[in-house]
Amino acid sequence: MKRRPLTARGWACLLCGLLLLVAANVVSARPLLYPAVLLLALPLISLAIVRVPRRRGAVSRQISTDLLAVGETSRVTVRFDLVSIGVPRGTWHDVLPSSVRGLASGEYPGDSLTLRYDLDGVRRGVSTLGPLMLRTVDPFGLAQREQAFGETRTITVIPQSVALAPLPTRVGAAGGTAQTRSSRLGQGADNLIPRPYASGDSRRRIHWRATAHRGTLMVRQEEEEASPDAMVVLDRGADRWARPGDEPDPAFETAVSLCASAALRLEHDGYSVDVVDSAGILLGALRGHEDDREELMIALASVTPRGGERDLRTVVGSTPPGPLVVITGHLTVEASERLHTAGAAAPLLFAVTADDGALDSAAARGWLTAALPASGDIPAAWSSALPISTARHG
């Protein structure tokens, strides 16, 4: 908002001068001309005092954290070097984007030329911080000047990540390479016990002896496979979310937070994690390096609902992962019937909202399912999708 050149006091002074000037002519009172001229001249003199001096300044900012997470606080230190005739007195404030909140203002000059304030992350996104604004007022308080100094700085607010319970099968590391035996979670502990065939099961897992004995297709309950890979899929399809577009959607924000948290949990367990969207676009890959985590968080900071989706088997590819985490918005029964586990050892499905029977339909196809309420308890939703023993002791 651009400030007017005169303050309220300055406009009042100017108005009084005009009224006295009119009154002096109406009542032919010459003595009224002197205060009228004075009141008209004072705002002009004040404007000259604040506008004429040339000022230039350099601004440098240091932020205590490179990436600010939603719900976290960071300290900003601003060094403001002003070159001016005399030392103007006034107030300063740093222009803050809507993604952060803080008291970025104060008196100028203060006790030091170093300005400090705290920032709270309130909404993920990539935005700009600054410029620094200096508002000065003349000694009479009639005129004001607001001037911008320094360049803007990019600030990235990343999604909030929360601690999640580990999966039942812990992953070890040998020689720098993750090794694991991934179980078909939620389908029993004995891989010799067959179960009825469900849509989405690979035909290579058909238990022919049990099929001949039962007279219906049966598949092996579990397979142990060496697979250190995991995948997290964030469904960004615009039709899955209530308010696709630029306006923040609490449900989508919760989904992004779960996406980040699940990826970090799986990496902590020793998996190599790929994070993709429902169209198969890679958002990030975690391979045990700090830079990988930062790149993923930066990518998730600006992700929005958009685009369509591809068949999950195409997204996953020919090599089934161990854990497969799919996070979606609104799940219909028709969509759940098309969801293929893609041969994953531990397929977990989270939906913010679901039609009646949609989650049950997905569970019948081998998914471990849980509802993910908007702005809800993410760790509780995660634990509810895991086996009971893990939810209780994880």
The domain limits of the chain are 8-51, 56-158, 227-393
Q: Does domain 56-158 have CATH number 3.50.30.10?
A: no
pLDDT in tens, 252-310: 999 999 999 999 999 998 899 999 998 888 999 998 888 899 999 999 999 988 877 78
Are the CB atoms for 322 and 229 separated by under 8 Å? Answer: yes
pLDDT at 8: 92
pLDDT in tens, 124-158: 999 899 899 999 998 888 999 999 998 888 899 99
Q: Quick one: tokens of 237?
A: 């399809």
pLDDT at 223: 43
The H or E element spanning position 60 is strand 56-63
Q: Which long-range contacts (CB under 8 A, 24 or more apart) does 42-49 make?
A: 42/13, 42/140, 42/142, 43/6, 43/10, 43/11, 43/13, 43/14, 43/142, 43/143, 46/6, 46/10, 46/138, 46/140, 46/142, 46/143, 47/5, 47/6, 47/138, 47/143, 49/138, 49/139, 49/143
332-354 average pLDDT score: 91
Architecture of the structural domain at 227-393: 3-Layer(aba) Sandwich (3.40)
Task: Identify the burial level of 350 via C-beta atoms within 10 angstroms of its C-beta, where 0-12 means exposed, 13-18 middle and 19 or more buried.
Answer: buried
pLDDT in tens, 19-49: 999 998 888 888 889 999 999 999 999 999 8
Which amino acid, one-letter code, is at 149?
F
How much is the pTM?
0.74
pLDDT in tens, 198-228: 776 666 667 766 776 677 777 776 544 444 5
pLDDT at 214: 73
Between residues 394 and 325, the one the model is more confident about: 325
The H or E element spanning position 295 is helix 290-301
Task: Identify the burial level of 66 via C-beta atoms within 10 angstroms of its C-beta, where 0-12 means exposed, 13-18 middle and 19 or more buried.
Answer: exposed
176-198 average pLDDT score: 48
Residue 176 has pLDDT above 90, yes or no: no
Tell me the average pLDDT of the chain. 83
